[in-house]
Amino acid sequence: MCFLINFPTNHLTKDTTHRILLKGHPLNFHKKLKNYKSTVLHNLRGLASKWNLCAIHVKDESTRFGLGSFKPLGVSYAVHKLNKIVNLKETLCAATDGNHGIGLSWISQVFNKKCVIYVPRHTTKSRTKFITNLGSKVIKLEKNYDQTCEHALQTSKKMDWQLVQDVSFKGYEKIPAYIMSGYQTHMHEIGEQIECKELPFFDVVFLQCGVGSWAASCIWYYLEKYGSKRPKIILVEPRESAGVYESFKSKKRTNPKGSLKTIAQSLNCGKPSLSAWGIIQSGCDGCIKVDDADIIAAKNIYLNSKGNDPKIFSGASGAVGLAGLLKCLNDKKFGNMKKHIGLGPNSKVLLFNTEGTLFDNL
């Protein structure tokens, strides 16, 4: 249910991923895109007071580029970087269970390229429809997420398409590193909104995981900026797709044990990404598994705001970080975790609403 990590190294290996992340200036790139606007960092004073915490802030990615999630940040930056170093192929391709494909379809249009998106069997109609409306060809496979990624890889090789995948594996590390670099735009925005130079504003950060690339990029940001003074970082996954949790337990990158069927559509992934796993091990303090019921409770808390707090419209995956915080606060079995991260009246907590409710209305 929860796993405490006692001795994160708090330093990063200087591999390709590290160097790409270090050199990235994604915020400068994103600021030049049409529709760019920094997303809001909500201060939920009412909720923090109710739960006896010092502060709860939520970076709300539901409005990002009008595309419903933070994901387009990563893939748009990767395509921009690729375009600078190679001749972009005529067709771009990826496997996705939703948001990554939305991002690639959108940026393919910006760069005037064709786009083919493969989705696994469990991807909902609303998501495939959204991707199709962005001009991509969407092909649904009778496969799970990992098998769909493999299919996209093999077909791209055969057809001479450019694979732009957010999961890294041996020999495919550069593009996922550009994607992780692109995600950092919202960390830089938070830097402008609230963080200080010497010490982090936040004490505890909850990050939801699919393949772990996004969480790794946030961890990298905090390690690079604050080293061992970084906030405590907790990763949260749906119980049925908890690849990071299982990897920590078995001390090697491994597949989730569950069914991969949860309401958190965007997190129903397989094995953690290779380079993400390296970074996660360096700077994370624990992992939490949550159930669909916890995620629904978290969505409702965002919606039924306290006092003068704003209402936050969150999709299931968007609410998973809050579901993790709820577990720590309310479930006695998480007492050790609470102690481990020092969660209490002095804690300033950062959460991300990584996706909104765009698909609920399609």
Ligand X SMILES: Cc1ncc(COP(=O)(O)O)c(C=O)c1O
- Give the shortest CB-284-to-ligand X separation in angstroms: 12
212 binds ligand X (CB under 6 A): yes
254 binds ligand X (CB under 6 A): no
- Give the shortest CB-265-to-ligand X separation in angstroms: 8
- Give the shortest CB-267-to-ligand X separation in angstroms: 6
Helices (H) and strands (E) in the chain, counts: 15, 11
As given in the structure block, the two tokens for residue 280 are 């996660």
100 binds ligand X (CB under 6 A): yes
354 binds ligand X (CB under 6 A): yes
208 binds ligand X (CB under 6 A): yes
Cα–Cα dist 316/359, whole Å: 11
**Pair 102, 338: CB distance under 8 Å:** no
- Give the shortest CB-231-to-ligand X separation in angstroms: 18
Q: How many residues bind ligand X (CB under 6 A)?
A: 20
Q: In what order do the strands lie in the sheet with 137-140?
A: 137-140, 114-119, 91-95, 162-163
- Give the shortest CB-208-to-ligand X separation in angstroms: 5
The SS3 of residue 153 is helix
Interface with ligand X by CB under 6 A: which range of 5-13, 83-91, 211-219, 221-229?
A: 211-219
Cα–Cα dist 116/118, whole Å: 7
**Residue among 8, 24, 286, 318 that touches ligand X (CB under 6 A):** 318
Interface with ligand X by CB under 6 A: which range of 2-10, 13-21, 185-193, 266-274?
A: 266-274
Binding mask 27-66 for ligand X (x = CB under 6 A): ----------------------------------------
Cα–Cα dist 303/250, whole Å: 37
**Residue among 17, 39, 62, 69 that touches ligand X (CB under 6 A):** 69
237 binds ligand X (CB under 6 A): no
Residue with tokens 């001749």: 87
Residue (of 355, 231, 208, 354) closest to 294 by Cα position: 208
- Give the shortest CB-359-to-ligand X separation in angstroms: 11
Cα radius of gyration rounded to whole Å, the chain:
19
324 binds ligand X (CB under 6 A): no
**Residue among 47, 115, 209, 288 that touches ligand X (CB under 6 A):** 209
As given in the structure block, the two tokens for residue 248 are 């920590």
- Give the shortest CB-213-to-ligand X separation in angstroms: 3
CB closer to ligand X out of 8 and 103? 103
Residue nearest to ligand X (CB): 210
Binding mask 154-183 for ligand X (x = CB under 6 A): ------------x-----------------
CB closer to ligand X out of 182 and 212? 212
**Pair 241, 269: CB distance under 8 Å:** yes
Q: What is the 3-state secondary structure (H, E, C) of 58-71?
A: EEEHHHHHHCCECC
CB closer to ligand X out of 296 and 344? 296
Half-sphere exposure of 278 (CA within 13 A, CB side): 16
What DSSP letter does each residue of 310-352 carry, written as one string?
Answer: PP----TGGGHHHHHHHHHHH-GGGHHHHHHTT-STT-EEEEE
The phi and psi torsions of 81 (rounded to 5 degrees) equal -65, -45
Cα–Cα dist 57/201, whole Å: 11
For residue 95, what is the DSSP state?
A: E
**Residue among 17, 165, 317, 347 that touches ligand X (CB under 6 A):** 317
Q: Kindly list the residues in this chain that would bind ligand X in the complex (CB under 6 A).
A: 69, 71, 99-100, 166, 208-215, 266-267, 269, 317-318, 354-355
